[in-house]
């Protein structure tokens, strides 16, 4: 059980670091209207956060194995809260503001940096998206923070 618990903690720490890092850098670039910085996030993280998402799902798997091998009650309140918050964090990233707003905007920033699209046009789209995308990033921060507190404190 201890090895699965360690793997759960390590993979979740890595997942949160990657996912929050990407979202934060992207939100800062969008907030500033910095097309080149947004294109740089694409170069650093790829079009979709495959590594962060894979680590997150792997961490969930290790958590479930930890619960199964450690005698945890899968229906304990704190675990149910974790399931709901993990599902909410996935759902947030499936929202249209991310799928139809942010992801295409990243593609456009790469095109603008390559001279295939006007930079000012993309900067204007960034400014139009900045508030709604910031809400997504802040909601992600809050959810991950609450999940961490839930895992450590086991309040229910």
Give the pTM.
Answer: 0.88
CB neighbours of residue 73 within 10 Å: 10
123-148 pLDDT per residue, tens: 999 999 999 999 999 999 999 999 99
Side-chain-side CA neighbours of 122 within 13 Å: the count stands at: 26
Please give the structure tokens belonging to residue 43.
């170069």
Are the CB atoms for 147 and 86 separated by under 8 Å? yes
1-25 pLDDT per residue, tens: 899 999 999 999 999 999 999 999 9
Q: Indicate the domain borders of the chain.
A: 2-153
């Amino acid at each position: 059980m201890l090895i699965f618990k360690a793997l759960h903690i390590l993979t979740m720490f890595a997942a949160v670091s990657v996912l929050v890092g990407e979202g934060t850098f992207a939100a800062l670039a969008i907030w500033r209207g910095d097309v080149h910085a947004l294109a740089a996030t694409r170069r650093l993280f790829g079009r979709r956060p495959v590594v962060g998402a894979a680590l997150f799902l792997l961490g969930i798997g290790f958590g479930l194995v930890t619960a199964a091998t450690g005698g945890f009650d899968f229906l304990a309140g704190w675990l149910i809260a974790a399931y709901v918050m993990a599902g909410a964090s996935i759902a947030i990233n499936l929202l249209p503001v991310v799928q139809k707003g942010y992801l295409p905007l990243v593609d456009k920033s790469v095109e603008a940096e390559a001279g295939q699209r006007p930079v000012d046009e993309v900067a204007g789209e960034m400014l139009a998206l900045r508030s709604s995308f910031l809400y997504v990033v802040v909601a992600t921060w809050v959810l991950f923070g609450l999940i961490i507190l839930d895992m450590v404190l086991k309040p229910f």
